[in-house]
Amino acid sequence: MIFREKYYHKHPEKYSKEQRFKFAKKIMLHMKNRGRVKTDYYGRENLPKEGGYILYSNHQGKYDAIGILTDQKEPCSVLMERKQGSRIVAKQVLRLTGSETLDLDNPKSQITTLKKVAEQVAEGRRYLIFPEGKWGDNKNTLQKFNAGCFRCSFDSKTPVVPVAIVDSYKGLNGNSLRKVTTQVHYLKPIPYEEYKDLRKNELCDLVKERIQNKLDEVLKKRLEK
């Protein structure tokens, strides 16, 4: 598959963005199946039917983007931390999906990248962003959300879709061959009209709060069983 991706990359004029995304999904589904990961999806009705928008998800591990992107019916790009995006399979998927990487050590380049993402979303592209930037050993616990990435929504004036992932850290962690089930919850979108008068940190806090509430709800039900 890697060699085939190189051909796609060298001859972009031969393939539409839909064809490239379909092949990217094929690569990711192969990894998902080999890793014995199953993902349950909730709230698909909350995804806007038309136009560009940004999915803002919590971050737990290397499976996170795969779990979300393989469920998308239309092409969707992802903003990934540069070091993570340089890994062999991640690099191929990022190229196929027309995605961007963010250098967390270079504030100036971050501004340029976020502006580019905003322009693409304004033109109708869908994007996945992880406000936490990267993951640690946080599992189902939220880390600090970085407000700067929400500039993409303010500049593109498009819907914000919070996404809560549960148990995603268990996928592709290399520590076990047991079957793993993760969850992806698409929460109610926040249209531009609702957040346009907020500050970036206020929108950031709002999205984090909604994701936290969903995590609390899911984990509480688990304890009650």
Percent of the chain predicted with pLDDT > 90 = 83
Among 11-25, 54-68, 197-211, name the one with the lowest average pLDDT: 11-25
Separation between Cα atoms, residue 161 and residue 87, nearest integer Å: 27
79: left (phi over 0), alpha (psi -120 to 50) or beta: beta
Q: Which domains does the chain have, with CATH numbers?
A: 1-224 (3.40.1130.10)
- The pLDDT tens digits of the residues spanning 153-196 come to 999 999 999 999 999 999 998 766 789 999 999 999 999 999 99
Position 152: which residue type? C
**CB contact at 8 A, 96 and 19:** no
Q: Write down the pLDDT at residue 11.
A: 82
Residue given tokens 């972009």 in the structure block = 12
- Give the global pTM: 0.95
Residues 6+ apart with CB under 8 A from 154: 118, 195, 196, 200, 203
Q: Which two tokens stand for residue 45?
A: 């009705």
- The pLDDT tens digits of the residues spanning 54-109 come to 999 999 999 999 999 999 999 999 999 998 888 888 999 999 999 999 998 999 99
